Amino acid sequence: MEALTSIPGVGRKTANVIMGTAFGKPAVVVDTHVKRVANRLGLTRSDDPERIERDLQHTFPQEQWTGLSQRLLLHGRYVCLARTPKCGTCVLYDACDWKGKHPR
């Protein structure tokens, strides 16, 4: 992480993508989609990406971090949208405690 983030333009998110994808090291990637979905599912109460990363690391086993990040990201990109979430087709509907979720 330290070596990657020392490269100009590379932050934690990009470093975690590289670590998880290129090097096969477990990494939690937090982007806007992961942030939104993790908050809506009650996996974190933070808006700070580093805090969200730690919360997810404490909640899930290390071997799941990279895949979990990818699934949360894609779920946020295609189902749990920021403005118009597709709650009616969401497979996580029953696990979601978000107060703004749409009724089925």
Please tell me which residue in 31, 35, 48, 86 is annotated as part of the active site: 31
Q: Which of 13, 48, 55, 94 is catalytic?
A: 13
Could you tell me where the beta strands, DSSP code E, fall in the chain? none
Domains with residue ranges and CATH for the chain: 2-95 (1.10.1670.10)
Q: What is the largest CA-CA distance in the chain?
A: 47
pTM recorded for the entire structure: 0.91
Instruction: Write out the chain's pLDDT in tens, 104 residues.
Output: 999 999 999 999 999 999 999 999 999 999 999 999 999 999 999 999 999 999 999 999 999 999 999 999 999 999 999 999 999 999 999 999 899 999 98
The yes-or-no answer on residue 31 being catalytic is yes
CA distances from residue 64 to 9, 24, 40, 59 in whole angstroms, order as listed: 27, 12, 20, 10
Q: Is 47 a catalytic residue?
A: no
